[in-house]
Amino acid sequence: MSGTPLERWVDEVAAITQPDRIVWCDGSDEEAQRLYEQGLAEKTFYRLNQKAYPGCHLHRSHPSDVARTEHLTFICSRRQEDAGPTNNWMSPEEARAKTLPLFRGAMRGRTMYVLPYIMGPVGSPFSKVGVEVTDSVYVAASMRIMTRLGKVALEQLGSSEDFCPGLHSLGDLSPERRFILHFPEERTIWSVGSGYGGNALLGKKCFSLRIASWMGRQEGWLAEHMLILGLEDPSGQVWYMAAAFPSACGKTNLAMLVSPLADQGYRVWTVGDDIAWLRVGPDGRLWAVNPEAGFFGVAPGTSDRTNPNMMAAIRRSTIFTNVAITQDGLPWWEGINGTGPDSLIDWRGNRWSPGSDKAAHPNSRFTVPARNCPSMSPHWEDPQGVPISAIIFGGRRARVAPLVYQSFDWQHGVFVGAGMASETTAAAIHAVGVTRRDPMAMLPFCGYNMGDYFAHWLRVGARLSQPPAIFHVNWFRTGESGQFLWPGFGENVRVLKWIVERVQGKGEATETPIGFVPTPGSLDLEGLSLSPETMEELLRVDRDAWEQELAEQKQFFEQFGERLPQEIWQEHAALAARLGAS
Ligand code: O2Y
Ligand code: MN
């Protein structure tokens, strides 16, 4: 056998998929131009107005292929119990038998792109190499934005076999023949039948979360569904935080928040908006990198009001997927600014008129280089990462969770994360008004048994001599008539400010059964017109709601049986006792 392990693997998959051409992508700008030209010729891409949006393109996915498909996503570990009760599992043998026929000859008449990429900053001890082969020019162009792709990755890999191979083919795009398969023991991904987002850009959810979480457990680090931001205080010190929220809770907006307290000296710096890789540093602190190089942000609702930094970022070198376009070739979506212009082409490419269905798909997206974003931290690509002072968990809860509370310690914080849940909205793909339990926002992304995952969090905590403080936030608490009580968006910086004060041992709090809740006067509310009654409601611990929450958590935890660490049960019992006793 000749060639490097990578060359041998590429030969192997080419023998199966039988492409007409093989293109090894080098990551150069010239190559990007070639990819877009190819995409324009085959109508995968449409050029947007180059004067207003230079270097920007529109892509329309197949109408049946518009979101991640959790029910078609499998962990193919050798033993079912290692995937755990919250993942779909298929044996590696069955997975291969089912999908090999779908890959056989799938690239006949097509080009196979070989995409070597790095997740993590170049030269960082955190970083990992992946290689995706794909027959989608859209995937090739998107992976150039989302990862460090090409020559840099080949240089880092050399002749090593230490890479995550990812085989992707569009197949016939039929949902009946769509599979997103993860083989964690082989650190391999196979994806067929989808050309969209998390199903097809294999560096993102597949590698950086599902496979990486398995690797992190073996190697002693954490791969998490978390944004990373830095809050600069008036002294110029920057406090870094990592925050996990389920999908559709505003992670990207928080990561890029524009601070209304800027005149006091509080400013937010963006490190990442979706994924964090976290390691215990030699100083006993937790250090984090964002493994991605771009954002795959949701378009509807993004505007100058909700996320001005993102609106600035997407003005160049961006791929828009499934948005509408105006007559002038500008991208458009619901919530961008008022009502739609009279004349639009909708996400399917049809003429749209006011009053008809949504013009942009609700899960329409932009793929944008992180370096375009004005709020990027000067440290976002630091090889050693940034030191994390606070971890924030959160969800969309109408009643049960107050605006913010702090856990008593690391073990209690892990329990807070393990008990996370979110109530679904019309914007989410799940049924409306249902509480979906989503520990650490990792339910769809943890590549192994979540009982073992909680144990891994506890083990990592035991190695931290200076652990981050752990908090829970809820921007979505509602009043009697269902209205949101907290203004959210940029005003969330007031909660971040309190969090940083707590980290410094300064912010005031009341001890409650669930943790430390801000005293009424300890949040900076200057300039907001929130009544004392509203604040009281926002910070209230609703005993009845917590009784019910305890019962729902118990039911959820029971499914892990022996794999659930005793510490989680201890914390559950302690919370029950505190609620009963006080
Ligand atoms: O539907 C998709 O493929 C995208 S989902 C997504 C995209 C960017 C960041 N996070 C998510 C998510 O579902 O958590
Ligand atoms: Mn996400």
**pLDDT value for 428:** 42
What would the mean pLDDT of 63-70 be, rounded to a whole number? 95
Query: Is the Cβ–Cβ distance between 241 and 499 less than 8 Å?
Result: yes
| Residue 66 covered by a domain | no
User: How far, in Å, from the CA of 63 to the mean position of ligand 2?
Assistant: 22
**pLDDT value for 426:** 52
Catalogue the active-site residues.
Answer: 249
Q: Are residues 256 and 317 in the same domain?
A: no
365-375 pLDDT per residue, tens: 999 999 999 99
Whichever domain contains 157, its CATH number is: 3.40.449.10
278-336 pLDDT per residue, tens: 999 999 999 999 999 999 999 999 999 999 999 999 999 999 999 999 999 999 999 99
| Residue 244 covered by a domain | yes
Q: Are residues 112 and 164 in the same domain?
A: yes
| Residue 339 covered by a domain | yes
Q: Are residues 112 and 239 in the same domain?
A: no
Q: Give the start-end residues of each E strand in 327-385.
A: 331-332, 344-345, 351-352, 365-369
Q: Is 159 exposed, middle or buried (0-12, 13-18, 19+ CB in 10 A)?
A: exposed
231-278 pLDDT per residue, tens: 999 999 999 999 999 988 999 999 999 999 999 999 999 999 999 999
Choose the residue to mutate in 61, 62, 68 for probing ligand 1, maximizing ligand atoms within 8 Å of C-beta: 68
Q: What's the mean per-residue pLDDT of the chain?
A: 96
Q: Are residues 394 and 527 in the same domain?
A: yes
Q: Which ligand 1 atom is at minimum distance from the Cα of 445?
A: 14
Which residue's CA is the closest to the ligand 1 atom numbered 6?
198
117-154 pLDDT per residue, tens: 999 999 999 999 999 999 999 999 999 999 999 999 99
- Which residue, of 220, 247, 277, is where some domain finishes? 220
- Which residue, of 346, 372, 398, is where some domain finishes? 372
Q: Are residues 479 and 536 in the same domain?
A: yes
| Residue 62 covered by a domain | no
User: Is pLDDT above 70 for 430?
Assistant: no
Q: Are residues 489 and 525 in the same domain?
A: yes
User: Is pLDDT above 70 for 1?
Assistant: no
Output the DSSP codes for 529-575.
---HHHHHHHH---HHHHHHHHHHHHHHHHTTGGGS-HHHHHHHHHH
In Å, how far from its chain's centre is CA 164?
19
Cα separation, 558 vs 71, whole angstroms: 22
User: Is pLDDT above 80 for 105?
Assistant: yes
525-545 pLDDT per residue, tens: 999 999 999 999 999 999 999
| Residue 53 covered by a domain | no
Residues with CB under 6 A from ligand 1: 67-68, 196-198, 247, 274, 296, 363
Q: How many independent structural domains does the chain possess?
A: 3
Q: Which band of pLDDT confidence, cut at 50, 70 and 90, is reported for residue 340?
A: confident
Q: Are residues 406 and 460 in the same domain?
A: yes
What would the mean pLDDT of 496-520 be, rounded to a whole number? 97
| Residue 51 covered by a domain | no
Choose the residue to mutate in 65, 213, 274 for probing ligand 1, maximizing ligand atoms within 8 Å of C-beta: 274
| Residue 473 covered by a domain | yes
Indicate whether this model's pTM tops 0.95.
Answer: yes
Q: Are residues 123 and 265 in the same domain?
A: no
184-196 pLDDT per residue, tens: 999 999 999 999 9
Q: Are residues 535 and 433 in the same domain?
A: yes
User: How far, in Å, from the CA of 248 to the mean position of ligand 1?
Assistant: 9
Q: Are residues 116 and 254 in the same domain?
A: no
Domain span at 342: 295-372
Sign of CA dihedral 562, 564, 568, 572: negative
Q: Are residues 502 and 434 in the same domain?
A: yes
Query: Is the Cβ–Cβ distance between 468 and 390 less than 8 Å?
Result: yes
Which residue's CA is the closest to the ligand 1 atom numbered 7?
296
| Residue 281 covered by a domain | yes
Q: Are residues 442 and 353 in the same domain?
A: no
